[in-house]
Structure 1
Amino acid sequence: MSNIQVHVYKVAMTCEGCSGAVERVLNKLKDKGVQDINIDLPGQQVKVKTSLSSQEILDVIKKTGKDTKFIQTL
């Protein structure tokens, strides 16, 4: 069984459309290791509970075109 961790990212999101785009790309990974997604629009923060690496998730979020930065793993 893969190690489940929570990766935290700073994502430049200004509206529901932005957070929706991030949520859509991450939902595509639900069967590949992503268990839970928590989006804090006012705080421009995304937490992803997953067995995938922080870099794999970062690459996926960046596909939305949003300025994204990995913060930490909890």
Structure 2
Amino acid sequence: MTTRAEEALKRVTSEPTVSVDDAAVLLGVGRSTVYAAVKLQELPSIRVRQRLRIPSSWLRQVLDLADRAATNPGTEAGRLGD
């Protein structure tokens, strides 16, 4: 059984954008905090009609996921708390 964080991590490493829910889980904050950060332009976003998406590349950079994958080849870049 996978946790929400593991599922969000899989999406952030494989999809170009993620949902507000996924971004909130990965950043360790609530959905309302993500929406507030987007409104204050503290967090990049892409709005398509009523949907708000967060660029995965930005999240990977902020969370140092790209560096982890590069320095630990053969390990899943998605282990939170490593």
TM-score by length of 1: 0.27
Q: Which has the higher strand share?
A: 1
| Greater relative contact order structure (CA < 8 Å, 6+ sep) | 1
Q: Which has the higher helix share?
A: 2
* CA radius of gyration, larger in: 2
